Amino acid sequence: PAVYHQDIREQLIKDAARLGRYRHHLARGKDKLDITAFHPAYAENGPERQHWPKILFQYAPTMSNFLHTKPPIWQLHDGRVVIDCNNDAMNDYPEIPVTLARNADSWLMLTCMRLNNHITIQDFRGRMPGDRKMSMADPLGRNRISMNMTRFRKFGCCLTWNSIRNVDTQREYLDKKLPRRCIRLNSTESFRKLFPWEVA
């Protein structure tokens, strides 16, 4: 048996709320269910740089960042497989909150992807509000998420840890821009966000 994520969204949010609440504001939509469910791992984190998770300050990945495997099981709810709007079974990634707002914070999604490099944009999209009639192909939704995350990474001096075009150019620029101390310690925490005119 299977159940649509959208059909249990309210229950997932209520169950997560019993565990606590975020200290800082997270993005949310106008609908009461268009929110990111509470996740204890990010309780003290937020959109301001001083509240980012430590992993966002790590400049370059190390081997330990790529030792994850895909989850061996699908996400389950009361013994039923949870499926997204495209009728695909959803992977059980403990790094991702059980629901995400449609305009979910880029810092949070990038954190999840750095914690487990198997996580994809589709894993985020499946946890966002949607209509069961709407295909998960949804290029506009996926492109919006991707563009927002790219913008966040550029201003936050966060290299992509995936092999994509222009990654060498981005790293070459930041290698010159960052203080030598940041490169040596493999951490940008002592630096700052880039200004608009500095973004490569």
Those residues whose C-beta lies under 8 Å from the C-beta of residue 40, and which sit 6 or more positions away, are 19, 20
* pLDDT at position 160 over 90: no
Yes or no: say if 21 and 144 are a contact pair by the CB < 8 Å rule: no
Q: How confident is the model at residue 66 (pLDDT cuts 50, 70, 90)?
A: confident
Predicted confidence (pLDDT) per residue in 166-190, tens digit: 567 888 999 999 999 999 999 999 9
Mean pLDDT of 8-20: 97
CA angle, corner 167, sides to 196 and 192, nearest 5? Answer: 35
Mean pLDDT of 79-104: 94
DSSP class of 87: S
CA 17 vs. chain centroid, Å, equals: 19
Mean pLDDT of 102-114: 96
CA distance linking residue 53 with residue 88, whole number of Å: 30
Mean pLDDT of 62-75: 80
Q: How confident is the model at residue 130 (pLDDT cuts 50, 70, 90)?
A: confident
Distances (CA, A) of 196 to 154, 159, 166: 10, 17, 19
Those residues whose C-beta lies under 8 Å from the C-beta of residue 98, and which sit 6 or more positions away, are 12, 13, 15, 16, 37, 39, 127
Give 72 or 87, the one with higher predicted confidence: 87
Averaged confidence pLDDT in the chain: 90
Predicted confidence (pLDDT) per residue in 27-45, tens digit: 999 999 999 999 999 999 9
